[in-house]
Amino acid sequence: MHNRCMQPVRISFNILHLALAGVALAQGGAALTDWQLHYRTGEDLLGKGRAAEARVELELALAGAGIEGKGAILDALGRAELEGGRYREAKRRFEASAALWVPQTRPWAVALNNLGLACLELQEYAHAEALLVQALTVLHGEARPWQSLGQAQLFRGRTRQSAESFQRALSLAGPGLAPLIASDLAGVLRAKRQYVKAAAILEEAIAGAGAGQARARMRANLGLLCVKLKDKRRAVEQLRSALTEMESAVGERHPDVAAILEIYQDVLRGAGQKPEAAAAARRAAEIRSSFVRHTGDRRVSVDWRDLR
C-alpha cells in the first residue's frame, strides 16, 4: 500500500464562531442596515450547512460594512470557506480578520485559533502549532484549542506533547466533546503502535459520537487501524461506512471525501478488489483536481460561545 494514502485523518473540526463583537445588530427596534441583514443571513445559512450560499451573503456584507464589522464578517467568510473545502481562501480570510483585532483580546485569540485550523487543513503543521500556542495565551481554559494543538503536535511527531495537550483538553471538555478528544488520543496510541488499544478507544468514541463529518473521520481512522491489525474485511467495512457518512455530511465533492477514497482504494487493492480500487482512485483524483487551487496536497475553527 502507498504510504502517502495511509496517513490518519484529523478527527474534529473545532470551528469557532466570532460574534459581531461590539456591534449591535439592532438597537431599540431600529431596522437593520443592508450589510447587517446580509451578515445575519450569511450566519443563518452557515448554521444550516449551506456554505456556498453563505459566502454570497457575507461578501455583500463585507462590501457594505464599516471597520467595526469587518473582523467578524471576515471570520464568518473564513468559516464558510473551510466548510466548503476551500482552505487557502479560509486562511486568507482568517489572516485578514486577525489583523483587525487588538492583540491579547478574545476576538484576536479566536481568529488565531481559526487561522491555525486552516493551516492544519493545509498540512502547515508547524505554523498551525505556533498560532494555536498564541491563541491559548487567552483561550487556555477552553478544551477545543487544546485539542487542536494536540492534533498539530501529533502530525509533527511530537507524541508526548500531543498526549499532554489532549489530556488537558479532556480535563476541560464537556460530555459532547469528550468522544472526539478520546479519538484523538487513539491517534497517539497508533503512533506508538499500540493498535489494539487504539482501536478499542476509537470504537468507544464512535459509539458516543453523533453522525457527521467528525465521526466519518473516526471511522476512516478505525479502518486504518484494522489494516494494521490485518483485518482486511473489517477495514473495507469501516471505510465504506466512513465514505457514506462523509458524503452525507459534506456532499460528494469535498477534500474529505477524496481523502477517504484514497485510503479506501489502497485497502480495496490489498483485499484483492482491484476494479473497485481503480474506481475509487479515479474518483479521488477527479475531486482533487477540482480543489487543487484551494487546498494543500490534501486534506475547523471554534465558536467561542460554544467553548466549554
pLDDT at 31: 73
Percent of the chain with pLDDT over 90: 72
Mean pLDDT within 107-128:
95
- Grid coordinates belonging to 147: 485539542
Q: How confident is the model at residue 203 (pLDDT cuts 50, 70, 90)?
A: very high
pLDDT at 10: 62
- Grid coordinates belonging to 135: 491563541
Residue of 83, 52, 86 lying closest to 294 (CA atoms): 86
CA distance 76 to 97: 9
Taking only Cα atoms into account, the Rg of the chain, rounded to an integer number of angstroms, comes to 20
pLDDT at 297: 45
Mean pLDDT within 65-94:
93
pLDDT digits (tens, 9 = 90+) for 22-52: 344 544 445 789 999 999 999 999 989 899 9
**If DSSP codes are grouped into helix, strand and coil, which group holds residue 196?**
helix
What mean pLDDT is reported for the chain? 87
Q: How confident is the model at residue 14 (pLDDT cuts 50, 70, 90)?
A: low
